[in-house]
Chains A and B, each alone.
Chain A
Amino acid sequence: RKEVEQDPGPFNVPEGATVAFNCTYSNSASQSFFWYRQDCRKEPKLLMSVYSSGNEDGRFTAQLNRASQYISLLIRDSKLSDSATYLCVVNGGGTGGFKTIFGAGTRLFVKA
Chain B
Amino acid sequence: DTAVSQTPKYLVTQMGNDKSIKCEQNLGHDTMYWYKQDSKKFLKIMFSYNNKELIINETVPNRFSPKSPDKAHLNLHINSLELGDSAVYFCASSQGQASYGYTFGSGTRLTVV
Contacts and interface: CB of A to CB of B under 8 A. Distances in A.
A104 B99 contact: no
A98 B41 contact: no
B97 A104 contact: no
A71 B10 CA distance: 35
Q: Which applies to chain B's interface (DSSP): helix, strand, loop or mixed? A: loop
A104 B40 contact: yes
Nearest to A48: B101
A9 to B, nearest CB: 12
Chain A interface category by residue count:
20 to 34
* Chain A interface helix/strand/loop/mixed: strand
Interface string A70-102: 000000000000000101010100000011101
Contacts of B43: 44, 87, 102
Interface string B47-74: 0000000000000000000000000000
A55 interface: no
A42 interface: yes
Nearest to B109: A41
A32 B106 contact: no
B34 interface: no
Interface in A5-50: 31-32, 34, 36, 42-46, 49
Given A43-B105, A44-B104, A105-B41, A100 B90 contact: no
A100 B41 CA distance: 16
A32 B107 contact: no
B101 A46 contact: yes
Nearest to B100: A49
A92 to B, nearest CB: 10
Contacts of A45: 104
A85 B41 contact: yes
Nearest to A104: B42
A43 B25 CA distance: 15
Given A43-B90, A44-B43, A105-B41, A100 B106 contact: no
Interface of A: 31-32, 34, 36, 42-46, 49, 85, 87, 89, 91, 98-100, 102, 104-105
